[in-house]
């Protein structure tokens, strides 16, 4: 073999090695960012307040307290049609429970029957072992499905009448036309003052793996949700809706090898009427978005991919303060039981 052939062979070998190394480097570069090893996902104590921007302490999941289930809100004339039910004699809770309709909805609206407890002198959902001197039936005037209509009102009347027939009660129904008109007015108010905010966190360069997103978000207090690809920032009190939601492609989270799943955007969401103003949800949403963008090499945009500068976030925050004030004035404060029912 001549010197020329040997030289060409050496050059060819070097080129081949260079191509292999470049391919490996490119593959490594394009691999989604991975969670740090030996850094398990940590979850905050669900019973205490969360400080935005601070790492949560590592806790054993088994030590978490059981969530405190909030008592079902009482019927309220502000957002419910209420029909009083007179009784000839007190009724046992067992009899009332047997007479209750099988479903608790009239169309798309929540339907409920409450009894006036003879011993506690309070309205409550009927319970065994109690006696009731009065009942009242109610149906919600509006929710995010729209205003109560005539068909739903008629279903409410039929369900209530069936209950009354079973317990020998006498209902007093409000005028349907007036209640439907009231429902439309409330629905219009709710539509004008509803707010579901979303910040989109987009990867600037390398994509993220599900584990990387989860590990980074957990450091800001987010915990895993029941749905794959969803995390939640818990409220300061157990049993209340989460302050914020964080979600990404559920298919990436369910992949056979999630480490190879490439995520390029994450949504941080805030359901304004569902969250108490005292939680400072927008402040925490803004801080979480900026913190994640900084640590994950991303940018914060709106749904259309437009960058959200500080000035734009300031405007959104000021508008939210006005919205909170309006809801307060209407006795539908954000995060209150009535607001959570109306905006659901």
Summarize the confidence of residues 203-227 as an average pLDDT: 95
Contact 162, 113 (CB under 8 A): no
Query: How sure is the predictor about 266, in pLDDT bands with cuts at 50, 70 and 90?
Result: very high
Q: Which residue has the higher pLDDT, 23 or 206?
A: 206
Q: Tell me: pLDDT of 144 over 80.
A: yes
Q: Tell me: pLDDT of 46 over 70.
A: no
Q: Tell me: pLDDT of 310 over 80.
A: yes
Nearest to 44 by CA among 190, 317, 232, 175: 232
Question: Structural domains in the chain?
Answer: 80-190 (3.30.1400.10), 193-342 (3.30.1400.10)
Q: Buried (b) or exposed (e) across 292-321, using 16+ Cβ within 10 A?
A: bbeebebebbeeeeeebeeeebeebeeebe
Summarize the confidence of residues 137-150 as an average pLDDT: 98
Q: State the pLDDT at residue 126.
A: 97
Rounded to an integer, what distance in angstroms lies between the CA atom of residue 277 and that of residue 232? Answer: 17
**pTM: predicted TM-score of the whole model, two decimal places:** 0.79
Supply the angle between the helices 176-192 and 150-167 in degrees, to the nearest 10: 120
Range with the lowest mean pLDDT among 16-30, 148-162, 214-228? 16-30
Query: How sure is the predictor about 318, in pLDDT bands with cuts at 50, 70 and 90?
Result: very high
Contact 147, 183 (CB under 8 A): yes
Supply the angle between the helices 310-329 and 281-296 in degrees, to the nearest 10: 160
Q: State the pLDDT at residue 261.
A: 84
* Backbone φ and ψ of 198, nearest 5°: -145, 130
* Mean pLDDT score of the chain: 85
Query: How sure is the predictor about 260, in pLDDT bands with cuts at 50, 70 and 90?
Result: confident
Range with the lowest mean pLDDT among 29-38, 280-289, 305-314? 29-38
Q: Is 33 helix (H, G, I), strand (E, B) or coil?
A: strand
């Amino acid at each position: 073999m001549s010197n020329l052939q040997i030289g060409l062979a050496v050059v060819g070998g070097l080129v081949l090695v260079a191509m292999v190394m470049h391919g490996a480097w490119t593959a490594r570069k394009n691999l989604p960012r991975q969670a740090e090893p030996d850094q398990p996902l940590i979850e905050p104590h669900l019973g205490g307040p969360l400080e935005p921007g601070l790492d949560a302490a590592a806790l054993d999941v088994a030590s978490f307290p059981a969530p405190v289930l909030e008592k079902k809100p009482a019927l309220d004339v502000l957002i419910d049609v209420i029909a009083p039910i007179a009784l000839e004699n007190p009724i046992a809770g067992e009899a009332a429970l047997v007479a209750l309709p099988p479903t608790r909805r009239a169309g798309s609206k929540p339907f409920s029957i409450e009894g006036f407890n003879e011993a506690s002198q309070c309205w409550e959902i009927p319970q065994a072992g109690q006696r009731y001197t009065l009942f009242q039936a109610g149906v919600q005037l509006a929710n995010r499905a729209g205003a109560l209509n005539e068909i739903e009102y008629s279903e409410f009347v039929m369900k209530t009448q069936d209950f009354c027939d079973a317990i020998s009660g006498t209902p007093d129904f409000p005028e349907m036309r007036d209640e439907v008109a009231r429902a439309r007015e409330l629905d219009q108010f709710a539509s004008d003052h509803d707010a579901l905010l979303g910040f989109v966190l987009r990867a600037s360069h390398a994509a993220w793996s599900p584990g990387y997103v989860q590990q980074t978000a957990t450091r800001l207090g987010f915990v895993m949700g029941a749905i794959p690809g969803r995390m939640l920032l818990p409220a300061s009190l157990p049993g209340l809706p989460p302050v914020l939601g964080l979600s990404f492609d559920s298919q990436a989270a369910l992949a056979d090898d999630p480490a190879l799943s490439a995520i390029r955007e994450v949504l941080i969401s805030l359901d304004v009427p569902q969250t108490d103003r005292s939680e400072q949800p927008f402040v925490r949403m803004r801080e979480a978005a900026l913190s994640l963008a900084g640590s994950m090499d991303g940018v914060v945009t709106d749904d259309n991919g437009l960058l959200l500068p500080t000035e734009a976030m300031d405007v959104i925050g000021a508008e939210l303060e006005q919205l909170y004030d309006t809801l307060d004035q209407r006795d539908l404060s954000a995060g209150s039981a009535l607001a959570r029912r109306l905006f659901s």
